[in-house]
Structure 1
Amino acid sequence: MTRMSFRQLTAADRLLAGIERAMEAVGGQPEAQRPSPGHQHADTKLAADARRHAAGLMRINHTGEVCAQALYLGQAMMARDADTHRHLLHAADEETDHLAWCSDRLKELDSRPSLLNPLWYAGSFAIGAAAAAVGDPVSLGFVVETERQVEAHLDEHLRSLPAEDDRSRAVLRQMQADEARHAREAQVRGGVDLPMPIPGLMRLASKVMKGVAYRL
């Protein structure tokens, strides 16, 4: 579908557009607006164990981008301010680039996305909508904390990737730069610090997701 603000649509159209984006995220072929940074590097042949490990890491990141799509769209649907709504949809579009890049890299590594992506999407959409229902400052604060945690786990993956996998590494570096920018922009727009124990619970949920997605 053509990317547009949900506020330009009727309620029924918004629902259909949301369903279409959900299907695209969990089982379709997301279309990137930017070329994959990995294409600037040769696709080096990896040993079997290294390929499986790289695929596991990229599957985690693909699942993370599925969750990001759901979070941002859930937040956008409940945003009270039109500018915040537009900002969240724009961030979701950039996350679609990440989703497409990870999907392409998984194929190159002869692997597949997580089998549980529909579950991850549904849970993340509900969390995003709930955060936004509290108010835009809390919703934007949720973006800040989420992106900071994603930036940290991408740093871990960059260190863990096989040394010769420059293609995956280039993708993750650009994703990390984008996530850091999303956090800064959300903070500038009024995102507040989340109270404890919310950040800790977010880290725990992320740890569970990463452990499962690496294998499934």
Structure 2
Amino acid sequence: MFNRFSGLPAVLYFLFFIKEWKSSKAIIFYIVFISFGFDFGNYIFIKYFYPNSYLGGNWWVILNYFLMSWCFMKILPEKIKLIKFLIALFVVLTVPSFIFFYSFYEHNVITTTFSGVAFITFSVLGYLKLLNNSTVPLSKTPSFYLITAFFGYYSFTFLKNLFVKYLVFDLGITAEQYAPISAINLLANTSKNYLLFYVLVLLHMDRYDPLLNPSKDFEQ
């Protein structure tokens, strides 16, 4: 339950206090909103319609890839051509993967692995850019927490996404055996959503950021 509603604080904070639909804050809102929507939707779907969450999870991976890429275009505008190329490559890989290799009711290793590699790489590039451009402690910059939310989530879930099909469908591990893996995934998702909430709060305070708010003078 804690994970299921972890995106709600950020969603409500944006809708009631920020409401800046043409800013970088809106992109973060969209990322948290679809996370919250799919988390809650998957719960309803599993409870009343189907025994696993792969249908919603697969759609989330696709939608989230486009939103996260949009976000990294703001963080790494100098890499925009690479990001657009990887978006095109993601589409080229995703469509045939669902036609020939996977159904929407099973885990798609291709889309999740591609997303993980792409966003871990972009996060590392974001960290390097922060280190080279920030004149203030990283702990005071919103983009540090933004990048950390993405890096942490994809780092913690990468191996799970890579091997979950083998573990569940081929090896046939029990629910009890899978529970620790699931707990790590839930912790990563919950942490990501609360970090993004914190990022929205900092940006709403007009906190200086060398990547997202460079025109604001840093204030001690």
TM-score in terms of structure 2 length = 0.36
TM-score in terms of structure 1 length = 0.37
Asked which structure has the greater CA Rg, the reply is 2
